[in-house]
Amino acid sequence: MAGLLTGSVVLVAMVSSAGSLLGAAPGSLLPLLLPAIVVGTAAVGGMWAGHLRQTRPQVYAGIGHGTPSTNAVPDAINVNI
């Protein structure tokens, strides 16, 4: 619980000081653009996960649990410069 509280305090501090970092005029909506992008990306990711869960449950179930097949990734990559 302490981590959630600390993370929230840090997030609020970051968002509140984003205006000075960006050099935005007081009252500008530009500093709100950064958290909006993060929230929007999380929402789209959640919708995509819901879509996968309903339409392709085998793919959704394999997220985070799979390993590539033995022939999918080469064992060694030789790069000479």
Q: How far apart are CA 35 and CA 19, in angstroms?
A: 12
Q: Could you report the per-residue pLDDT of 17-71, keeping only the tens digit for each? A: 888 888 888 888 888 888 889 889 999 999 999 999 999 998 888 888 766 666 6
Read off the pLDDT band of 79 (50, 70, 90).
low
**Domain ranges across the chain:** 30-60
Other C-beta atoms within 10 Å of 54: how many? 9
pTM here? 0.58
pLDDT exceeds cutoff 70 at 76: no
**Among 18, 19, 37, which residue's Cα sits nearest to residue 28?**
19
